Amino acid sequence: MPENYHPSVDLDFIEKQLINSGRLAPGGIVKIGSTTTYVIQGNQAIYKRSIYIRELTPGQVCFEQATGLAIRFSFMGALLEWLHEERNWKEGDYVVPKDSSSKYE
């Protein structure tokens, strides 16, 4: 179950990274309801090459699943950068913008 303090990740970002990896089979994206299936190229059984992503809310994936995919497909750096820019979240903590007046700065 996802933790409340972890940000969600846009499915569009994840999909872009998976496509850019070059490991997906041609036509290997199937969407059914809130679940998207990605099929990796290869000769193994289809269940070993399938990745299932279930959206938490429309267009959003849980942090844990996004991190697992980032490790598996080698885009962890891009994910951390995206989280910092889009969700204002960095290395396990929320970033306080420098222009805010916070007593913790």
pLDDT digits (tens, 9 = 90+) for 78-101: 999 999 899 877 765 555 666 655
On whether the CB atoms of residues 6 and 45 are closer than 8 A, the answer is no
Q: Which two tokens stand for residue 100?
A: 């805010």
Q: What is the pTM of this model?
A: 0.78
Q: Say which residue, 48 or 97, is predicted with more confidence.
A: 48
Terminal C-alpha separation, the chain = 33
Please report, as a single letter, which amino acid is at residue 34.
S
Q: What Cα–Cα distance (Å) separates residue 53 from each residue in 7, 28, 42?
A: 16, 13, 20
Res 4: pLDDT: 60
Amino acid making up residue 105: E
**Spatial distance between the Cα atoms of 90 and 83, rounded to a whole number of angstroms:** 7
**Mean confidence (pLDDT) of the chain:** 86
